[in-house]
Amino acid sequence: MITLVNFLILIEKISKFSKNTIDKGKTPLDIYKLCSIIREAFCCSYSIRKNNNLYFYVDSPKILIKFEGSTLRYLGSDERSQALLLKRALDKINGLEKNNGQKMQISTPGILVKRLQNSESILENIHDLYYDKIIVINGFKKENTHRNIIYLEDLDKLSDYCYVLPFPQNSQGTVDFLRIMDDKLNLVFTNLSHIKGIEDKILYINYLIDQKNNFDTEIK
């Protein structure tokens, strides 16, 4: 059975932009960073990482965007390609109403979107969330305790985990959501503060997973 690697990016808000903005090379900084995250999550040499899923949750206005590696199409390695796919997803969301029971809607192949009632609804839309298998990457530490602090290098099956990476503009909503997740799913925390940028953290996690998979293959 192929295990999916889930990356969940928690974002407070996202800048508005147009195709014309992108074509003129005036991509907003946060959109530029999101494109870098998409690229590092999926682009591998001349192929796509089919086993990866990437989720963007935007707290304002509470939307969820899923990039599904196994069905992802039209994703190029260039920023323009990534930005325009993200733009189409955001445009698709504008026509949707908040409906917690509604299935995620397809924007383009492999990119799905949904409006949520609240941040707790994220948990109902991300598959393969397991108790004790959700890792929060630095920025938020457990209060008054050091339990459930791990080192990624010590884990054998890194692909069993869902990785939660708060975007730099951390909001109180993000803090509250992590608290809810901790109560329900017993979060695990790790610290990658020595690696700058979410995209570089994802690159590092993918690297560790590749190394461990290659090692397991050599043993077999």
Query: If you average pLDDT over residues 121-149, what whole number do you get?
Result: 73
Reduced to 3 states (helix: H, G, I; strand: E, B; else coil), residue 11 is strand
Please, which pLDDT band fits residue 111 given cuts at 50, 70 and 90? Answer: very high
Q: What is the pLDDT of residue 99?
A: 60
Query: What confidence score (pLDDT) does residue 218 get?
Result: 59
Q: Looking at per-residue confidence, does 147 or 110 come out higher?
A: 110
Check whether 4 has a pLDDT greater than 50. Answer: yes
E strands present in 69-158: 105-108, 111-115, 134-137
Q: What's the gap between Cα 199 and its chain centre?
A: 10
pLDDT of residue 100: 52
Which string of DSSP letters, residue by residue, matches 151-202?
-GGG-S-GGG-EEEEE-SS--HHHHHHHHHHHHHH--EEE--TTS-SHHHHH
Q: Cα(106)–Cα(197) distance, rounded to whole angstroms?
A: 29
Check if the beta carbon of residue 178 is closer than 8 Å to that of residue 187: yes
Least confident window among 17-21, 127-131, 170-174? 127-131
CA distances from 74 to 41, 79, 87, 172 (A): 15, 13, 13, 35
pTM: 0.90
pLDDT at residue 1 above 60?
no
Average pLDDT, the chain: 85
**Does the structure show a pLDDT above 90 at 94?**
no
Q: Specify which residues 56 forms β-bridges with.
A: 9, 65
Amino acid 83: pLDDT: 94
Q: Tens digits of per-residue pLDDT, 149-190?
A: 889 998 888 888 899 999 876 677 788 888 888 888 888 899
pLDDT at 127 over 80: no
- Quick one: what percent of the chain has pLDDT higher than 70? 87
Q: Go through the domains of the chain in sequence order and give each one's CATH number.
A: 5-219 (3.40.1280.10)
User: For the segment 38-90, what is each residue's pLDDT rounded down to a tens digit?
Assistant: 999 998 877 889 989 999 999 888 899 999 999 999 998 889 999 999 999 99
Percent of residues, the chain, with pLDDT higher than 90: 43
Q: What local confidence, expressed as pLDDT, does residue 38 receive?
A: 96
